[in-house]
Amino acid sequence: MPETDHECSLPEDTKCAYRTRVEQLEEDLEQFAYLASHDLREPLTGLAGFATLLQSRCADQLTDDCRHFLNQIIEGTKRMEEKLEDLLAFSRAGRAKPTGSFPLGQAIEEARRALVRSIAETKATIDIKGELPVVEGDRSMIAQVFQNLFSNSLKYRRKDKPPLIQVEAEPHDDDSWRVAVRDNGIGFDMRYKERVFGVFQRLYTIEEYPGTGIGLAIARKVIDRHGGNIWTWSEPDQGATFYFTLPPATARS
């Protein structure tokens, strides 16, 4: 199992130039996500409003076919509103402020509370292995990372057994904690290990599993903002593990 997925043998100055370029591209993408979600929302709200009006006032003048088309338009606008909302959440993740220290367990508890219904419905267990550290970061954004990872473990569960999620933190390198979130779900082929972190990238159709494909992109952005790495290890039918690193609480906090 790899310690981290980010080792490469390029010279330091080339790495540095790549890093600057990647950071610039990420900033552009974030800005684009913000503008797209913000500016597209207004015309979309108008479109959705008029389609709903047409449905409530004129439905009896329409043929069955036309009513079906109108329903498709309304469904489409709803999906688009959700995607824009997700894009906005993605651009917000870039503004995470890692400026305080907090016990990691608090972020896990916050995520667990947010998912209490689906945890009960799927009969899932979240198991904390060993002691959890105090880390430096933005508590609510790290809670969001746990929530996105847990909700995936609940969604991509196996049909034959309830989800079991194990969380563990271990010292990593000299100066960080490595957090592991492991599940017993359907897993995926490691050829998709990078793709799963892409914006709107998914391995299944919306009919098979609902979702927009933003959860892991948000998680990666938040961890990047904390100066950490996030990566995954999985095998089809053998569950998936997501690892991320976080700085420990500094002496000043």
**Nearest to 183, CA basis, from 170, 168, 199:** 168
Closest residue to Mg ion using C-beta atoms: 215
Q: Which of 186, 223, 230, 246 binds ligand ATP (CB under 6 A)?
A: 186
Tally the residues of the chain. 253
Residue 241 touches ligand ATP, criterion: CB under 6 A? no
How far apart, in whole angstroms, are the C-alpha atoms of residue 51 and residue 239?
43
Question: Side-chain half-sphere of 58: how many Cα atoms within 13 Å?
Answer: 11
Residue 240 binding target from ligand ATP, Mg ion, none, CB below 5 to 8 Å by type: ligand ATP
Residue selected from 77, 152, 229, 245 as contacting ligand ATP according to rule CB under 6 A: 152
DSSP 73-99: HHHHHHHHHHHHHHHHHHHHHTT----
CB of 52 to ligand ATP, least distance (A): 25
Return the one option of Mg ion, ligand ATP, none that residue 186 interacts with (CB less than 5 to 8 A, by type): ligand ATP
d(CA 82, CA 3): 36
By CB under 5 A, the residues from 148 to 207 that bind Mg ion are 152
Q: Which residues bind Mg ion (CB under 5 A)?
A: 152, 215
Q: Which residues bind ligand ATP (CB under 6 A)?
A: 86, 148, 152-153, 156, 183, 185-188, 196, 202-204, 211-217, 240
